[in-house]
Amino acid sequence: MALSIGIVGLPNVGKSTLFTALTRKTGVAANYPFATIEPNVGAVAVPDERLARLAELVRPGRIVPAVVEFVDIAGLVAGANEGEGLGNKFLANIRETDAIVEVVRYFTDADVVHVEGRVDPAGDVETIRTELILADLGTLEKALPRLEREAKRDKTLDVKIALGKRVQIWMDSGHRAARMEMTPEEAELLRDLHLLTMKPMLYVANVDEGAVGRDLAPIDGVEPIRICAKVEADLAELDPAEAREYMDELGLDEPGLDTLGREAYRLLGLQSFFTAGEMEVRAWTVRIGAKAPEAAGVIHSDFEKGFIKAETISFADYDALGSEAAAKTAGRLRIEGKEYVVQDGDVMHFRFNV
């Protein structure tokens, strides 16, 4: 599943440093606004201890993790919705992503200029929220008259128009569209408008090295993920033993990027199922709530078209019993049909006929 998360924020908040650490490849990390002009894109492995455990049991030729695609998008400034800075390009790039991670500057560093001349996390969050809301209000201002014209011929559009006007009033009060109470069916009605503030959103607090373990106030009702991008960039350059020693010094159980990877996966409403054999152990990405044929289709479209059944073992059973054969002997291998809802961590083998 090619799903992507845009990394956004004001200039010089640490977006590119974070992206470089995430992807462990050289990127632009410069001390001036708009260092990132064309968005950088990188696939990031989703940390999953279960994959390593399956590999330990099966000893495959290769291990393939699930991935999330991160996009490092140019810094935004006030007035972006009117084209200030790289505003139009920023908004177009973010519109193409499935979710947003906003990096908010909490760190202090006299050598890294702040675009507004001061470190003010709440103000920075408000600037970006305002710009995204104004961009969405502009979208609605264009869309609603068009929908009203079309509704003269198609009365089914009246519901969508009424919903659009509700969202318009809500955003006029300074709220993101996603924060308005609506049913899944109503949210689906708005999908083709591509509203920026309907996208799922995470906040990363880019803190000073000594503040990684401190609690922070929620942002827009969401607890931010505390990360020191500079530390994460250093960790990405160390071998595992050195990285572990450094994290112990800082009192960290794991890199902040591991937390971000898992939370990004959850933000997109995704889960993993596994295939395990001598050739490879692989984590496959599927949406939460997907049924067995849809999961089969993630591997190959023919698997979904000709789906017959799914031989399924829960990860817990596979882990406890040690092998597929042992699970089968113990009666823990299940035969599931088309209506089976895939569970996170299922180890599956599909039977199909095309």
What are the sequence ranges of the domains in the chain? 289-352
pLDDT band at 137 (very low <50, low <70, confident <90, very high): very high
Q: How confident is the model at residue 77 (pLDDT cuts 50, 70, 90)?
A: low
**Looking at residue 42, what is its pLDDT?**
80
State the distance between the two ends of the chain, measured CA to CA, in whole angstroms: 22
CA atoms of 341 and 62, how far apart (whole Å): 28
pLDDT-above-90 percentage for the chain: 54
289-352: CATH superfamily: Beta-grasp domain (3.10.20.30)
Of 195-209, 315-329, 331-345, which range is least confident?
Answer: 195-209
pLDDT of residue 79: 53
Per-residue model confidence (pLDDT) at position 58 = 96
pLDDT at position 194 over 60: yes
Helix (H) or strand (E) holding 134: helix 121-151
The pLDDT, as a whole number, for residue 78 is 55
Give Cα 338 to chain centroid, integer Å.
28
249: Cβ contacts below 8 Å, ≥ 6 apart: none
Instruction: Tell me phi and psi for residue 155, to 5 degrees.
Output: -70, -15
Which of the pair, 145 or 262, is modelled with greater confidence?
A: 145
Q: What's the mean per-residue pLDDT of the chain?
A: 86
Of the pLDDT bands very low, low, confident and very high (cuts 50, 70, 90), residue 193 is very high
What local confidence, expressed as pLDDT, does residue 28 receive?
37
Specify whether the CB–CB gap between 239 and 218 falls below 8 A.
no
Q: Are the C-beta atoms of 289 and 184 separated by less than 8 Å?
A: no
> Is the pLDDT higher at 27 or at 199?
199
pLDDT at position 82:
54
Which is it for strands 334-336 and 201-206: parallel, antiparallel or unpaired?
unpaired
User: Which residues make beta-bridge pairs with 313?
Assistant: 347
